[in-house]
Amino acid sequence: MDAIVDPEVERYAEEHTTPPPEHLVALAEETRASLSTPQMMTGPVEGRLLELLVFATGARRVLEIGTYSGYSALSMAAGLVPEGRIVTCEIDPQVAEVARRHFAASPYGDRIEQRVGPALDTVEELEGPFDLVFIDADKEGYAGYVEAVLPKLAPRGLIVIDNTLWSGRVVGDGSDADQTTRALMVLNERLREDPGLVCALLTVRDGVTLVRRADDAGAAGPGG
């Protein structure tokens, strides 16, 4: 992943973010040592952002599409109310096994349910509502994931979508964009233009978009 934020600024932000606990440090070390694409791992700054979003929303039910090695799920678990739960979906059994071990070794293993297989199949099986949905999986599938989770989003629910700046490649007219970049460009335009949604694309790491339904501003709190 090419840097969007100046590396010195990124380093400063990380140094002035509460450091991760030991179980996340251990997970990050194994991810870098044993998996082929460690850059896919949620870093400490975005991890804390996810934790704070879960905490601030008072989320009781969280859905994650794209577990990878489990850093984001464990980050979010720390922000849950004690009775809160996360369902996390991963299609790759190898990385799912890494995540499973680190979930079990953490203080939050009982808060996380892991599903291995195509995420759309899992979402179809699940009953809502979810107070927060984090999407960080195959980019060409993002639009489908958003459509699948919107009907299962709780009143005042929040969707968080990762990698929406895609190393800055989404900027421009798209004439020389590859298929993945075009898919993200289309998604970003769809979110911005949909009158039923309110979104903000943040320049955190590789781009993080926050989305809520426009008609939910006055709805009841998390969980309905």
Measured CA to CA, the distance from residue 32 to residue 40 in angstroms comes to 10
User: Residue 207's pLDDT is what?
Assistant: 95
Torsion, Cα of 7, 12, 13, 14 (10° steps) = 90
Instruction: Express each pLDDT in 115-159 by its tens digit.
Output: 999 999 999 999 989 999 999 999 999 999 999 999 999 999 999
Cα 41 from Cα 20, distance rounded (Å): 14
**219, pLDDT greater than 80:** no
Lowest mean pLDDT among 105-114, 146-155, 164-173: 164-173
Which pLDDT band, with edges at 50, 70 and 90, does 4 fall under? confident
Q: For all residues of the chain together, what is the average pLDDT?
A: 93
Q: Where are the domains of the chain?
A: 7-35+42-214
Alpha carbon dihedral 168, 169, 171, 174, in 10-degree steps, equals: 180
Q: Which tokens hold the place of 185?
A: 């460009």
pLDDT value for 76: 98
Strand partners, 87: 63, 113
* CA 224 – CA 218 distance, rounded (Å): 12
pLDDT tops 50 at residue 72: yes
Inform me whether the pLDDT recorded for 212 exceeds 50: yes
Q: In the sheet that 112-116 helps form, which strands lie side by side, from edge to edge?
A: 112-116, 85-90, 61-65, 130-135, 153-162, 208-213, 197-202
pLDDT at position 218 over 80: no
Average pLDDT for 167-178: 88
pLDDT band of residue 175 (cuts 50, 70, 90) is: confident
The model's confidence at residue 2, banded by pLDDT at 50, 70 and 90, is low
Distance (Å, whole) CA 85 – CA 126: 13
Of 73, 97, 101, 100, nearest in space to 87 by CA: 73
Q: Which fold has domain 7-35+42-214?
A: Rossmann fold (3.40.50)
